[in-house]
Structure 1
Amino acid sequence: MTGFAHVLKPGRIGTLELPNRVIMAPMGTEMGTHEGLFTEKEIAYYTERARGGTGLVMTGISAVSEDYETLNAGLCCVHTDAALPGLTALAESIHAVGGLISLQLTAGLGRNINVIDPDRLPISASDNPHYADPSVLCRPLEIDEIHVLVKRFGEAAARAAAAGIDAIDIHGHTGYLIDQFMSACWNRRTDVYGGSVENRCRFATEIIAAVKANAPGLPVSFRLSVNHRFPGGRTTAEGQAIAVVLASAGLDLIIADDGSYEAMDYVFPPYYLGDACMVPAARALKDVVSIPVMAVGNLTPENAEAALAAGDADFAGIGRGLIADPEWAGKLTAGNRADIRPCIRCNSMCVGNAFFALPLGCAVNPQVGFERERRVEKADVLKHVVVIGGGPGGLEAARVAALRGHSVDLYEAGSALGGVLLPAATPEFKKELRAMIGWWERQFTHLPVSVHLDSTVTADSLATFEADEIIVATGSIPLMPPIPGLDGPNVIDVLDFHRGAPVGHDVVIAGGGLSGSDAALELAGQGCNVTIVELADELARDMIVINRITLLRELAEKGVRILTGHTVTSVDADGLTATGPDGAVHVAASTVIAAFGVRPNTALTLALAGRANVHPLGDCVHPAKVGEAINAAFMTALVL
C-alpha cells in the first residue's frame, strides 16, 4: 500500500463499506437495447471494472420516466418492471466478482436532449432555448408533472433495491434537467420550485427523499457541477450554497465536477486541461459540507493520492482511466503502478462514440465493450511473428501476439520505440500519450518479445523469410507539397520540431491540423510569436469537438495568430506568402514549420506483395488517429 495509502484505504458511504476509495465515475455506454434495457455486453463491461478491484462501480444514466421525454436509443431506462431482469443480472454479476454497484438515475436531459421529438417540445424548468437549436423553446414542467417525476424516482429506486443494487446516484450536473431547476440561469419560475436556492433545489431534495423512502438503507449520491464555467452560469459560491441544501436533504456523497454544455470540455476534460483539473471543485464543497465528497477529472494515481491526502476529497472518481484499464485499482493494490495502462485523454472513442450514438470504445483498450468476445487466449498453433515498425500499431500487435503465446521479434528502424508518438507527445499536456510507450515496454519484459532497434527490414531481409506471420506497421511519411522554398534552411518538419530542432522566436506553421495546432500551442507556451496558416476554413477539423473547444480557447489566450482559408504559395528566408480571400499576405518568421499532414509509407507493403502471411496495419495503410492504429493492431494479432 506504500505510496497510495489514502486511495487504497477502506471507505464508507452511508451504510456501504468500500474496500478502497476508488469509485468508477458515471459514464454513458450506449450499450443498452433500443428499449433501454441493460444488455449482457454492458453488464460484462461493468463487471470487468468490479473484477479489477474498483471500490464501487457507478453506471451511466438510466431514465426513471418516459412520461415527458424519450432518451436516445442505447441509453438505459428503468421506468417499468421490464428493467428488473437486467438490473438483477447486473447486480448478481457484480456481486459474483466481489464488487459493489451504484445505479445512476436521471430525470432527463431537458434543454440538452440530443434529438427533439417532433411530437412534443423538450422540457425544462422554464421556457429555455434548446441548447442545439435555440429557435426551439422548451416547455416548462407543470407542478403536477414535477410530482410525477419525483414519484418515478421512488419507483425506480424500489426496483433497484429489489434487484440487489447497492447504491443510487442522482444525475444532477452539467445543465441536465435537475440542474436546470437548481440553476438561476435556467430557472425563472415564480412558484415553489423557483426563486431562492432552497426553492430551486426543491425538485432535487424531493427526489432525494423519494429515493431514500423507497430504497431504505441504500446510500444516495448526487453529481453536482460546482461551477458551470460560462458567463452567466453558476459560480463556485452558488455551487457551494446548493451543496449545503442537498447535503441537508440526506445525501451520503456528493460528486463534484465543473462544466456545462456551454463549457463542454469540462464535462469531458481533454488532455489540454491537465491533471486533476476539477479537484478545486471538490475542495470547494469540502469547505461547506460534512458528508463525503468525490473528486473527478483527469486523476492519475499520484494526484488522486495527493487530493485525498490533502483532504481535498474523500473519494477518487476514475472515469476514462477505468475504461483504459479496468484493473486500475487492483494494480495499485498489488503494487504494480507501472502496469496501469494510461488513459491518453483523447476522447476519441469514448466520448466521440457517444456523440454519434455508438457503443463505448477506447483508443488504448480495444477490449472495451467486447469484454467477453475479445479475450486474449493462447493460440492453438504457436508461431514466429515478425513485427516491422515500433509505433503504436506495431507495439500493440507485438503485445497481443506475445500474449497469445507467439514468439515475437519487433524491428524498429529508429533508436527508440514509439514511432510518431515519441516526438509528437513531447508537450506536457500529452504526457499520458507518451507514457503509453513506457507501458508497452514494461509489458514486453514479461512477454516473449525481442526488440531490435536501429534495424531496417526490407523484403529481402532474412527476418521476413523466417517469419510465420509478418505485421507491417511502418507508419507514414511527411507530406511535402511542391511549394517553392519549402526545402529552404529555415523550414523544418513538425516532427523534427518535436525532436528538438531549434526554432526562432517568430514562427509560422504551415498547416492547421491537429499536429500543427498542438505545435503552435506548445510554442506559444514557450513564449514564441506564432502564426498558423491553414487552407481550410477552420483549424483541426479532424479533431473531436470537445478537445477542439479547449484547443481554440488556449490558442486565443496565448495570442496565436490564425489565418484560415489561406493557401501557402511560397516560402522565403523571411517567412512565407499565403493567398486568402483578400489576396496575398506575407507572414514574417525566422522559422517555418511544415505541418501539411502525412501519407502512408507503403514501400515495404508493396515490396512484400504476394506473400500470404503479410498483415499491413496503421498509418502505412491509411493515416489515422492513434486509437485506430491500436485497435486495428489488436484485432490483427488476436486472430494470428
Structure 2
Amino acid sequence: MTTLSTTPTFDRMLSPLTVQGLTLPNRVVLAPMGTEMGLPDGRSTPREAAYYGARARGGTGLVITGINFVQSDLEPIAPGLARADSDEYTKGLADIAAAIHAGGGKAGLQLTPGLGRNNQYYDAMGMEPVSSSDNPYFFDPSRACRPLETDEIALIVQRTGEAARRAYEAGFDVIDLHGHTGYLVDQFMSAVWNRRTDRYGGSAENRARFAVECIQSIKENAPGVVVSFRISVDHLFEGGRTWEETKTLVQSLEAGGLDMILCDNGSYEAMDYVFPPYYLGDNCMASAARQVKEAVSIPVGACGNITPESGEQILARDEADLIVIGRGLIADPDIVVKLKDGRPGDIRPCIRCNQLCTGNAFFGKAIGCAVNPEVGYEAERIISPTDEPKTIAVIGAGPAGLEFARVAGLRGHRVHVYDRADRVGGVLLPAATPEFKRELFRMISWWERQLAAIENVTIHLGHEINAGDRELDGADVIVAATGSHPFVPASVAGSDHGVDVLAFHEGAPVGRRVIVCGGGLSGADAALELAQNGHEVTVVEMAEEIARDMLMLNRTSLLRELAAHNVTILTSTTVTTIHPHGVTVAGPEGTAELEADTVITAFGLTSATELGQALGTVLTVGDCVSPRKVGDAVNDAYELALTV
C-alpha cells in the first residue's frame, strides 16, 4: 500500500486571535528587534518603514518595531537609536504604522523606559549610571549605579505615557513595554537588582509596581490600544530571576491591566539566549511561554528559534497563543503568505548565524541577513527582468554560485551551473553535518527547490569544468564560484597524517581520541560535534583564544557547550608536527607530545583561484575571491547578479 505524502497544515498559526477588541489576522508576531535604520537623531526613515511594511505584506499578523526610547532625562540615548520622546518623532512613527497597515498587518510599537545599568553610553554623554538600586554598572562592575529617586520614577512613568500618546496618534494598534533582558523595568522587577525599601521594593507586588504604573500610563494616554509586555522568565545566571519569582510578577502585571505577554529567557549575563544561535536548537525558550500560560489568563507569546512546524505544534499543545518570530521573519518576510499558499518548502530558512542581523546591530550598523540580501533594501533591491538575456556559465554550486544562479535566472538569463560534486551546496554541505547546524541543510534544499522552479536554470552535477572545455564556448558570461582549498601552514610537518576537517564532515573515520588543529569556527564546531558524539577531544589553537572572530553571543554558547562536553582547549599553542599517533606542539610551557587516534586539521582556507586565472576574463564571487562567511558570499552573489 502506498502512503501519499501530504503538505502539513498550519491552521492554528493562521487562525485569528482577538485581544481586547483587536483582532489579529493570525498568530504570527514579528518579534521586536532594532533595525539601526534610523537617522542619527533617532528619527525613523522610509527605509525602515519599507522593512516593516514588507513583513506585513508577507502576512505577519502583528508587526512590532524595535525599542523606542521614551526619555533622555535620566539616561543617554545614543545617536541612531529609535526615539519617541518628542513630538518631532511622531511623523516617522506614523509612516511605519501606515506601511504596516497598508500591508494588511496590525502595528505594534515597542517602548523602553530605559536600559538602566545596561546602558553603555553614560560616559560618552556625560551622565551618571542609574538603576533600581546601587547595582554594579554592567560595563564597569567596579562602579555602582545611583538608585533612582521616587520622583524620577514618576517622571519616567510620565514620559512613558507621553510616548504612548505619540504612538496612539501615529496609529499603532499595540504598544509593547520593553521589560526583559535585565533592562530598567526588569531591574525593578528582579530581587537580584532591586533592594529598595520603599513602595517599589520588597514584595513581588512592589517590585512590579514600576512596570504596572507604566502599563497604566500607556492605557491612559492611548485609549483602546492593546498593551503587551516582553518578559524574561528565567535570567539563566546564578542568582538571577527564575520562574518561581517570575510567576508572581506576571500575575501582578495581569492584575495591573496588561493585555498580552511575550515570553523569553536570558539577560546580559546570558546574552546568547537573547538572540539564540544555532547551538541552542529549536524552541530553546518555548518552556518560558508554557510556564506563563499556566499562570495567567491573557494571551501568551512564545519566542526562541521557532520554525513554522514547531510553532504549529506549540499552539496545538496549548503552550502559547502566539508565535513570536524575529530572525526567521528577517530571513523570509513572506512566511505567512507561503503557509497560506501551501508552500512551506519555499520558506527561506534562518540559519541562526546572527552574522548580519544581530551582528550588525551590535556595531550600530543597519541590519541585514546572511541568506536574504534584500533586508534593509526592500524598496530598492528588486529582481526585475533584464532587457538583454545572456547565456551564463556558473562554475561552482556552493552558496555564491547558487545565489547568483537564482537571481540571474529570475532576471531571465539562461544559466548553466556546473559542479563536480553529486549534490549542490559546496562547502556548506559538509559543514551542515552537525545536528546543531541542520538549518544549513534546509538552506541547501531551499536553493534546490527555487532553482528547480526556474526553467532557464540548469544544474549539471558530477561535471567538472576545466579551462578550454566546450561547455564554455557559448557562454556570454562566465562566473567562477570555485570556492576554496584547505590550508595547512608550511611550518607544520607531517600534515599528510591528518584528516582535513571537511573530510571528517564527509564521513572520514575518526578514533575515540581526537586532536583538532585549529580553533577557528570550523575547528571549534567540529570539536563540539565530536564531543557530542562521545569522542575525547582536544583543540589546539595558536592564538590566545579560540573562535576569536566569532560574534560574542555565539561564542558564549559555543564555549559553554564545549565546556559541558569536556573539550580540552589549548591556546597560545602551535602545532609543529603531525604524527600517525598524535602531534608535537609548542606552548607556553615548552614542547610537548599529545597522543590521539585521529588528528583533524582545521587551519583555515585559501581561495581556489586556479581556474579563474586560467579562464582569464571571468566574474568571480564567493570564497574564490576571499574565504569569508556564508552571508558574505550570498550577499555578494546577489549584488553581482543584478549587474549582469
Q: TM-score, normalised by structure 2?
A: 0.97
Which of 329, 332, 350 matches 1:325? 332
Residue correspondence of structure 1 range 145-544 to structure 2 within 5 A: 145-447=152-454, 448-482=456-490, 483-488=492-497, 491-544=498-551
2:141 is the alignment partner of 1:141: no
Query: Which residue of structure 2 aligns with residue 49 of structure 1?
Result: 55
> Which has the higher mean CA deviation after the structures are superposed, 65-74 or 411-420?
65-74
What whole-Å deviation, never above 9, does each CA across 1:241-298 have from its counterpart, x for those lacking one?
1111111111111100000000001011000000000000001101111111000000
The 2-side partners of 1:127 and 1:471 are apart by 60
Equivalent position SS for 2:440: helix
For 1:16, give the aligned amino acid: L
Q: How far does residue 147 in structure 1 lie from its aligned partner after superposition?
A: 0.6
- Alpha-carbon separation, structure 2, partners of 1:262 and 1:251: 27
Aligned length: 635
Shift of 1:70: 2.1
The reply to whether residue 39 of structure 1 matches residue 45 of structure 2 is yes
Deviation at 1:323, TM superposition (A): 0.2
In the other structure, the counterpart of 1:639 is 643
Residue 67 of structure 2 corresponds to which residue in structure 1? 61
Equivalent position to 1:126, from 114, 124, 133: 133
Amino acid at match of 1:471: V
- The alignment-based identity, stated in percent, is 56
Letter aligned with residue 606 of structure 2: R
Instruction: Note the C-alpha offset of 1:74.
Output: 2.1
The residue aligned with 2:12 is 6
**Alpha-carbon distance, 1:13 to partner:** 2.1
AA at the equivalent of 1:306 = Q
CA distance in 1, matches of 2:215, 2:98: 25
The equivalent position to 1:79 in structure 2, one of 74, 85, 96, is 85
The equivalent residue for 1:616 is: 620
Q: In 2, distance between residues paired with 1:3 and 1:66?
A: 47
1:24 aligns with one of 30, 34, 40: 30
Which whole-Å CA distance do the structure 2 matches of 1:620 and 1:9 have between them? 47
- State the 1:2 CA deviation: 5.0
Aligned-residue offset at 1:494 = 0.4
Task: Out of 126-135 and 330-339, give the one that drifted further.
Answer: 126-135
Q: Which runs of 4+ in 1 moved over 6 A?
A: none
Q: Displacement, 1:587?
A: 1.4
Q: What do the CA deviations read for 1:408-449 (whole angstroms, capped 9, x no partner)?
A: 101111111000011011011101112111000100122121
Query: Aligned partners of 1:618 and 1:336: how far apart in 2?
Result: 29
Cα offset, 1:501, TM superposition: 0.6
What amino acid maps onto 1:452 in structure 2? H
State which of 561, 567, 575 in structure 2 corresponds to 1:568.
575
8 Å Cα contact 2:303-2:325 kept in structure 1: yes
State the distance in 2 between where 1:604 and 1:132 align.
Answer: 50
Instruction: Name the SS for the 1:532 alignment partner.
Output: strand
- The separation in 1 between residues aligned to 2:476 and 2:245, in whole angstroms, is 65
Secondary structure (helix, strand or coil) at the match of 2:465 reads: coil
- 466-475 or 218-227, which deviates more: 466-475
Query: Are the equivalent residues in 1 in contact too, given 2:349–2:439 (CA < 8 A)?
Result: yes
Hey, what's the Cα distance between the residues in 2 that align with 1:13 and 1:75?
30
- The residue type equivalent to 1:521 in the other structure is L
Structure 1 distance, partners of 2:417, 2:235, is 48
Aligned with 2:613: secondary structure? helix
Structure 1 residue 458 displacement after superposition? 2.1
Q: Secondary structure at the match of 1:157?
A: helix
Q: Please provide the CA RMSD for this pair.
A: 1.1
Kindly indicate whether the alpha-carbon contact (under 8 Å) linking 1:104 and 1:171 is maintained by their aligned counterparts in 2. Answer: yes
Answering whether residue 108 of structure 2 is matched by residue 102 of structure 1, we say yes
The whole-number CA distance in structure 2 between the counterparts of 1:458 and 1:13 is 63
Distance 1:25 1:14 in 2: 20
2:9–2:342 contact (8 Å) kept in structure 1: no
By how many angstroms is 1:380 displaced? 1.8
Q: Does the aligned pair in 1 maintain the 2:25–2:105 contact within 8 Å?
A: no
Contact 1:72 1:114 in 2 (8 A): no
**Consecutive unaligned residues in structure 1, runs of 5 or more:** none
Give the superposition deviation at 1:136: 3.0
SS in 1 for 2:287: helix
Residue 614 of structure 2 is aligned to residue 607 of structure 1:
yes
Contact 2:70 2:112 in 1 (8 A): yes
Looking at structure 2, the residues matched to 136 and 608 of structure 1 have their Cα atoms a distance apart, in angstroms, of: 62
Q: Report how far residue 79 of structure 1 moved.
A: 0.8
CA deviation digits over 1:27-80, x for unaligned, max 9? 011111111111101000000000000010000000111111122222210111
* Corresponding residue number in structure 1 for 2:3: none
The letter of the residue matching 2:328 is G
Residue 263 of structure 1 aligns to a residue whose secondary structure is helix
- 3-state SS of paired residue (2:110): strand
1:579 counterpart (569, 582, 586): 586
Q: Secondary structure at the match of 1:233?
A: coil
